Amino acid sequence: MAINQLENLVESIKSKVRALKKKKNKPYIKMDKSSSVKVEIRSRKAKKLIDKTLQVADRPGKRSIQ
């Protein structure tokens, strides 16, 4: 009796694991960025632009920002 229950438990665990593996390919729901994340991204982009501008300003021979 106990062996039969153990076999049933093992089979149910195996089937649940198989089901979870199949669900892996399911597309996920994309979350929108929060306003604080958007501000952080803009801040990083602004810092990069300022760094590039300062590097160009340090070399007066070149005029363009790339």
DSSP helix/strand/coil, 26? coil
The DSSP annotation for 12-34 comes to: HHHHHHHHHHHHTTSPPPPPPPP
Q: How much is the pLDDT for 65? A: 60
Q: What is the pLDDT of residue 3?
A: 81
* DSSP 8-state assignment for residue 66: -
Mean pLDDT, 10 residues at a time, over the chain (66 residues)?
Answer: 84 86 68 86 94 86 63
CA 39 to CA 1: how far, in whole Å?
A: 63
